[in-house]
Structure 1
C-alpha cells in the first residue's frame, strides 16, 4: 500500500478540493492510501492588508511547496488561478482537472444582478481585475476591499457591510453555498472576464514516477488547452495578481477556441483587450502572441501605472 500525502490549506474550500481529489484517487487506485496534511500559510494569517500589497496569491502556496520539497507531502491541490506561471524547481504542475464554472458571481441579499444595484451601492472584492471591470460598467459603485475565506465574506454580506460581493462561481458551487444568499448571479463573460485558470484545480506534485502516474488520471485535455493559453498570456505580460488582467480561453463544441482578454487601470479609466478564434489543434503560443500584440499597443506601460495606482490605494 502506497501512502500519498496531500498538503493543503485549512480553509473550507481548500479542504473540499483536497478531499475531492483524495476520493477520486482512492476510487481509482486501490493500492494508494491518501492523507491530508493541513498547513497554515502566510496568506491565511495576514488578513488585514489587501493581497496585492503583500505579495499576492503566491502567499498561499509558499509554505505548501516548501513542505513538498522537504518530502513531507507529494501533492497539493490548488485553485489554478492562485498558481504562479513559473513552478519552483523540483515541483510540477502535473494535472489540470475538468473546469467548474469559470465565471465570477455576484452574491447579494437584495439585488439580483449588477444592473439592479442602486447608485452608490457598496460592492466587496479584493480583486483589482473585478474592480476594473465593475467600474467600467458602473462607475457610481463604491468598491471596498474584501478579504477572508468564503464563509467570512458571505457573513460580512449578510451583516450588511456590503450590498453585494463578487466571488468565483466555482468556489460557491463546490461548497454548495449558492443557496446561502438570496441572489447568486453568475456574471456573463461579456460582462466580466475571469482570472487565468479560474474554475480549474491545479495538481502540483513532486517529480516522482508513481505520483505522476496518479496525477495523469486527473488531467483534462480541454482544461489544459484553455489554461495553458491563459497562463501564457499572463506570463508574457509578467502579470501577477497585483495587476488587473482578465483572460478567458474556451474550447467550443465545434473545435474552435475563443480567446478574450482585458487589462487596464484598477479604476477603469484606461482599458485594452483583444479577442481571437483559433482551431483547437493550433493553440500553441496563442496566449503569448495575444499578449505581445497588446504590449505593442502599450500594455506594459499601462500595467506599470496600474500597479503604481494599486500600491497607492
Structure 2
C-alpha cells in the first residue's frame, strides 16, 4: 500500500481501545489524512477470566495488534503505551514507535472508597501487583483479590461479592466519560502514594520500520512534550529488564525548576519504584536529568543498588538474569 492519504489503524475491540484508535484517527484527520480501523481480537481479551501472567504476561494486549501490521493487514497499530512490554524497548523486529500523540492524567484512582476511609480489612480488587503492593504499603490491613475484564466490568464489581473498591487508571475513566453514581467515593491517588505504570495515560502508535511514508505522516501527530517523558520511563523499565520479577512503576514530568547544563532547557524529573512482592518494602528513586534514556537508566540503577541491601524475593541482580516480569500486565 503506497497511498498514505488513508492509514489503516489496527486496534483491539474494547471500548477504551476503540476510543484511543478513534482519537488517533481524529488527529490524523486534522492533518488531512483519512483512516480506517482494523479490529483485532487478542487472546487476552477472549480469555478475560484467565490471569494475565498465565497468558504470557508481557505484551498480552499488543502482540496480535502488532502482528496485523507486520502481516500488512494494517499500516499502524494503536496502543496504550503502558501495554508495551519491556521487550519492545529496543523495538519489535520490523516495527518502530512512530508517534506518541498525547498523554492523559497518568494517576490511578480508587473507586469505592478513599485510601484513608476504607474500613479496616476491606477487600480491594485489582489484577495489578504494582497497585496491590503500593496500597498494601499504605494500608497493610486491606485484603486484595484479583480482577480482570474491561473497564466497565471492573467498575461494576464495586459492591459485589464482598468487593469494597477497585483500582483503575484515571485516564481510562476520563476518556470514556465515566462519572461515579451518587454516593460512590472516588479517590485520586497521587504519585506520592501510588506511582503509575510506565507509560500510563500515553498513547503509542507503531508502524513498519520499512514504511517511510506512514512514518512521515505519523510524525505529524507526535507530541514532543510527551515523547521524551515516555522515553525516560521506558528506559527505566528496560534497565530493570534482566532478573526483575517485582512490581515496579515510574512517572516522569518536566522539571521546570531545574535547568540543564549551562542553563539550557528544562530537565526531566523521574521517580521510579520497586517493591517487594508483599508490599512491605517499597523502594523509590527520584532523579533529574536532560537526557531521557540516561535518566531512566540512572534511576533504575539507583534502585538496583538500593535493592541489594534487602532480601527481595524476585530480584536477581546477576548479569544476564532471566527475562523481565516488570512489563505491563495489561492494567487499565
Return the TM-score normalized by structure 2.
Answer: 0.84
Partner of 2:187: 185
Q: Is the 8 A contact 1:104 1:187 kept in 2?
A: yes
Aligned residues: 301
Cα distance change of structure 1 residues 180 and 72 upon mapping to structure 2, 3 Å threshold: farther
Higher helix proportion (structure 1 or 2): 1
Cα distance change of structure 1 residues 201 and 161 upon mapping to structure 2, 3 Å threshold: farther
C-alpha deviations, 1:210-248, integer Å up to 9, x for none? 211221112112211111111111111117996300111
What is the deviation of 1:257?
2.2
Partner of 2:217: 214
What is the deviation of 1:250?
0.8
1:115 aligned onto 2:116: yes
What is the deviation of 1:49?
2.4
What is the deviation of 1:179?
3.5
Q: Is the 8 A contact 1:74 1:205 kept in 2?
A: yes
Q: Distance in 1 between matches of 2:162 and 2:150?
A: 16
Cα distance change of structure 1 residues 137 and 211 upon mapping to structure 2, 3 Å threshold: same
1:98 aligned onto 2:99: no
Partner of 1:267: 278
Q: Distance in 1 between matches of 2:292 and 2:158?
A: 41
Q: Distance in 2 between matches of 1:129 and 1:287?
A: 18
Among 227, 231, 237, the residue aligned to 1:224 = 227
What is the deviation of 1:94?
0.7
Q: Is the 8 A contact 2:49 2:149 kept in 1?
A: no
What is the deviation of 1:183?
2.4
Partner of 1:304: 314
Partner of 1:52: 53
Partner of 1:290: 299
1:17 aligned onto 2:20: yes
User: 3-12 or 42-51: which moved more?
Assistant: 42-51
Q: Is the 8 A contact 2:102 2:222 kept in 1?
A: yes
Q: Distance in 2 between matches of 1:251 and 1:303?
A: 33
Q: Is the 8 A contact 2:124 2:145 kept in 1?
A: yes
Q: Aligned-residue CA RMSD in angstroms?
A: 2.3
Cα distance change of structure 1 residues 65 and 296 upon mapping to structure 2, 3 Å threshold: same
Residues 67-216 of structure 1 correspond to what in structure 2 (within 5 A)? 67-85=68-86, 86=88, 87-108=91-112, 111=113, 113-159=114-160, 161-180=162-181, 182-207=184-209, 208-216=211-219
Runs (5+) with no aligned partner, structure 2: 258-265, 317-323, 326-332
What is the deviation of 1:303?
6.1
Q: Distance in 1 between matches of 2:256 and 2:235?
A: 23
Cα distance change of structure 1 residues 293 and 46 upon mapping to structure 2, 3 Å threshold: same
Q: Distance in 2 between matches of 1:240 and 1:157?
A: 36
Q: Is the 8 A contact 1:56 1:240 kept in 2?
A: no
1:234 aligned onto 2:237: yes
Partner of 2:250: 247
User: 226-235 or 250-259: which moved more?
Assistant: 250-259
What is the deviation of 1:26?
1.5
What is the deviation of 1:160?
5.4
User: 155-164 or 16-25: which moved more?
Assistant: 155-164
C-alpha deviations, 1:29-62, integer Å up to 9, x for none? 2xx3311011110110122222133222411111
Q: Is the 8 A contact 2:24 2:101 kept in 1?
A: no
Q: Distance in 1 between matches of 2:313 and 2:242?
A: 8
Runs (5+) with no aligned partner, structure 1: 309-313
Partner of 2:328: none
Partner of 1:28: 31
